[in-house]
Amino acid sequence: MSSPVTVSAAMIVRNEQSFLPGCLESLQGRVDDIVVVDTGSTDGTVDIATRAGVRLYHQPWRDDFAAARNAALARVSGSWVLYIDADERLVLPEGGVLADYIDPGAIAGLVRLRPKTGYTRYREWRLFRSDPRLRFAGRIHETMVPAIRTISTREGLPIRQTSVRIDHLGYDGGQGHKHARNLALLEQAVRDDPDRAFLWHHLAETLVALGRLQPAMAAARSGIAGARRQESDEQRAAASLCCQLLARAERQGGGDPVPAIAEGLAILPHDYALWFLLGRAALDAGRPRAALRVAQKLRAIDPDTLQDGVLAFDRRIFGDRACELAAVACLRLGHRRDAAAHFAEAARLAPDEMTYRLKASALGGPAP
């Protein structure tokens, strides 16, 4: 029996000739309609889209991601929308078509997104009904989540977690070319929406990349304050990211990262990146037993089970980096044999990291 759902993929592009073919290939035969809005490409993007047979439209770029995305939404023909970017790939774990994964009685569906190669997945709002009331808002980090939640509550329509996956590839390369563009957009965005913590976090990260550490830390603190004023799962996740940034900045500057770590864990106890930073801070403070306990906690977690949470994590903090943390803690406790075993396990998990193998060998451990 065919699904009552039809799905349009909607994307905006500009100079995406290196990524677009792979994205379109992942969509072909899995969605009913593909709408692409080009915002001024000067490379081969338009030719690629044309040859692929998508419905292609053009709109001048106006420093407003929401406006561009809404132009795509206005042209979809399906009863549901998947919004996706050229540097992403749709993955259907059980095969078939995307409509098979959607509950037609829901207002929206969450996907499991991997933001970067080597990271765990987290839940992302990417599937929703084609409804003129559902439109993006925000110049950058545009979102339709508040509109979805409003309709869901008002009309009693559920939001479903799906098994659909999206792999994001764009963060695998450097982002330096985007900092100047993003800075102006982010500065305006936090003026427009001062309580949205993720905007402050991205602004803080951009300022760090530009070498402006003190303004970055101030932005991170503004993000935490905004999350307290307007609470949600997404706000808590962004506030925790702000705490990660503050903790890293304090540690790199020779300060005490523990207050920022503690604040973040109070907001989001399962932020395992903060737990890893806590282990590093324990080593710095001469508390190897505490560091070892953190390493053991991280090693006990299967990163494949972390796919429906609000944050993604570098998988290595559950693998070789946790083993390295444990090894150093054991060395400082005088347990050389245990340290060698941990370094050997780290070498097994990350065979390209020759340092682990050398340290295990130097401590008289078995060959990894």
CA dist 121 and 309 (Å) reads: 8
- The confidence score (pLDDT) of residue 1 equals 47
Q: What are phi and psi of 55, to 5 degrees?
A: -85, 110
Q: Which amino acid is at 165?
A: R
CA dist 231 and 29 (Å) reads: 40
Contact 240, 210 (CB under 8 A): no
Residue 69: count other Cβ atoms within 10 Å of its Cβ: 23
How would you label 241-260 residue by residue, b for 16+ Cβ within 10 Å and e otherwise? bbbbbbbbbbbeeeeebbeb
| pTM of the shown model | 0.94
- The confidence score (pLDDT) of residue 235 equals 97
Q: What are phi and psi of 41, to 5 degrees?
A: -65, 145
CATH 3.90.550.10 domain range(s) in the chain: 7-168
Q: Is 164 helix (H, G, I), strand (E, B) or coil?
A: strand
Q: Distances from the Cα of 276 to the Cαs of 8, 132, 281, 293, 310, in angstroms?
A: 40, 44, 9, 11, 17
CA dist 16 and 105 (Å) reads: 35
Q: Distances from the Cα of 21 to the Cαs of 89, 144, 168, 174, 284, in angstroms?
A: 10, 27, 14, 21, 47
Spatial CB neighbours of 334, under 8 Å, sequence gap ≥ 6 = none
Sign of CA dihedral 263, 266, 270, 275: positive
Identify which of 36, 38, 35 has the alpha carbon closest to the alpha carbon of residue 14.
Answer: 38
Query: Which long-range CB contacts under 8 A does 61-66 form with residues at least 24 apart?
Result: 61/14, 63/139, 63/184, 63/185, 64/139, 65/12, 65/136, 65/138, 65/139, 65/140, 65/141, 65/142, 66/135, 66/136, 66/137, 66/138, 66/139, 66/142
Q: Is 358 helix (H, G, I), strand (E, B) or coil?
A: helix
Q: Which pair of structure tokens corresponds to residue 280?
A: 């590093």
CA dist 209 and 341 (Å) reads: 37
Q: Is 54 helix (H, G, I), strand (E, B) or coil?
A: coil
- The confidence score (pLDDT) of residue 173 equals 62
Q: Give every strand in the sheet of 80-83, ordered side by side.
A: 55-58, 33-38, 7-13, 80-83, 122-129, 108-114, 159-168, 88-91
CATH 1.25.40.10 domain range(s) in the chain: 175-269, 271-367
Architecture, CATH, for domain 271-367: Alpha Horseshoe (1.25)
- The confidence score (pLDDT) of residue 334 equals 97
CATH topology classification for 175-269: 1.25.40
Q: Which pair of structure tokens corresponds to residue 316?
A: 């290595």
- The confidence score (pLDDT) of residue 181 equals 79
Architecture, CATH, for domain 7-168: Alpha-Beta Complex (3.90)
Identify which of 5, 33, 187, 12 has the alpha carbon closest to the alpha carbon of residue 103.
Answer: 5
CA dist 176 and 163 (Å) reads: 33
- The confidence score (pLDDT) of residue 368 equals 57
Q: What is the pLDDT along the chain (368 residues), one digit of tens a residue?
A: 467 899 999 999 999 999 999 999 999 999 999 999 999 999 999 999 999 999 999 999 999 999 999 999 999 999 999 999 999 999 999 999 999 999 999 999 999 999 999 999 999 999 999 999 999 999 999 999 999 999 999 999 999 999 999 999 988 666 666 787 799 999 999 999 999 999 999 999 999 999 999 999 999 999 999 999 999 999 999 999 999 999 999 999 999 999 999 999 999 999 999 999 999 999 999 999 999 999 999 999 999 999 999 999 999 999 999 999 999 999 999 999 999 999 999 999 999 999 999 999 999 866 55
- The confidence score (pLDDT) of residue 365 equals 66
Q: Is 167 helix (H, G, I), strand (E, B) or coil?
A: strand
